[in-house]
Amino acid sequence: MQRNLNRQYFIIVLLLSLAIGITIHFPMVMNYIFGEGVGRSHERFIISFTHLGMELLITYIVAFLMFTLNFFILKPVEKHAKLKLFNIILAIVLTVISVFILNHFLYSVKNMLDPLGPSPGRHRDEFGYTNFFVSAFVVGCVLIIRLIFQKQTIVLENEKLRHETLQNQFESLKNQLSPHFLFNSMTALKTLIKEAPEAAQNYINSLSKALRYTLQSNEKRLVTLKEEMDFMESYLFLIRMRFSTNLTVNTNINEKNFSYKLPPLTIQTLVENAIKHNEISKRKPLRINILTTENESLIVVNDIQKKITEEEGTGIGLTNLSKQFQLLIGKEITISHENNQFSVEVPLIKP
């Protein structure tokens, strides 16, 4: 994508450089077409045409080189590059100086190659107008191109993020509505109705809250950590009922982080990932820890105790989650395997 943006930029500046050349020398072009170019001898016609072509070529070269210079200073196609006042001032100063030097050099070369053309004095008189116009037009156009590219990039990223979010939510909902999950849920509910009617009511409420949150999560791109943990309270209630004491989920969330944000169903995706890929039994109970850190991130850690027979999965849960964070804040989640523990750290987004 970045390479395509670079290509688009230079195609645009090639056309803009031509437009600058024609605009600056428009009176000369009109005079050549309707004045000097009419009723002149063939020799004089060629001389006038050559002179006009060299004038246009000089302005075209200068404008294109200035667009290239500002490509590296203002970084119009880099989505995460911040536009600072210093960069704008630097771009203006370097553009004005470079235009003056290049014009002076190229017109000196032209005067040596085109001795029959207008005197150098005429060009010196035109330097102020030419330099100002080229400098202002180039810097202004680069800033406008930057705004257009960033708006275009934001639209594309929002669409991509929406797709990744929907895909993640679909996977989460599919896991919760899978026959295996529903069978376990209904079996647990059947047992609770007979043995503990009050617990059965709580189970139904938690299941309802979990499904409602999953269905409504597509309406939000981000949720607060507090909202996510409220959902996780219902979800973990269901999980604990399924696995009893064979699964332990500990939470250690700093309350100051409750207002921070993250994509919906982030924690559920990480917990479900741990449950799916690890053995949970009386022989090997599984422990999962959910905690926040001082560097404003959230970590989900679980012991590694691989199943003898792995459950089939799409393998896109963590991948989609990483893409969401990359698109939202330019950071990826951190996955590590250390000391027989699997951990995933996700950055929390400041409100």
Q: Give span(s): CATH 3.30.565.10, the chain.
A: 177-347
What is the enclosing helix (H) or strand (E) of 68?
helix 42-73
Tell me the three state secondary structure of residue 39: coil
d(CA 40, CA 154): 56
- pLDDT one-digit tens code per residue, 180-200: 555 666 676 777 777 777 777
Q: Locate the DSSP E strands across 174-329.
A: 223-224, 247-252, 261-262, 286-292, 297-303
Q: Where are the beta strands (DSSP E) in 179-259?
A: 223-224, 247-252
Query: Which pLDDT tens digit goes with each residue over 327-343?
Result: 777 788 899 988 899 99
Assign 32 a pLDDT band (cuts: 50, 70, 90): low
How far, in Å, CA of 32 to CA of 45, rounded? 9
Give how far Cα 59 sits from Cα of 22, 70, 118, 173, 233, Å.
9, 16, 16, 61, 68
Higher pLDDT, 157 or 335: 335
- Alpha-carbon gap, residue 184 to 190, rounded angstroms: 10
**What is the percentage of the chain residues whose pLDDT exceeds 70?**
77
pLDDT of residue 3: 78
The per-residue pLDDT of the chain, averaged, comes to 79
Q: Does domain 177-347 have CATH number 3.40.50.300?
A: no
pLDDT digits (tens, 9 = 90+) for 242-298: 788 899 999 999 999 999 999 888 898 899 889 888 999 888 999 999 999 998 899
Instruction: Read off the pLDDT of each residue in 46-72 and give the average, rounded to a whole number.
Output: 84
pLDDT of residue 36 exceeding 80: no
Q: Give percent above pLDDT 90 in the chain.
A: 24
Is residue 168 very low, low, confident or very high in pLDDT (cuts 50, 70, 90)?
Answer: low
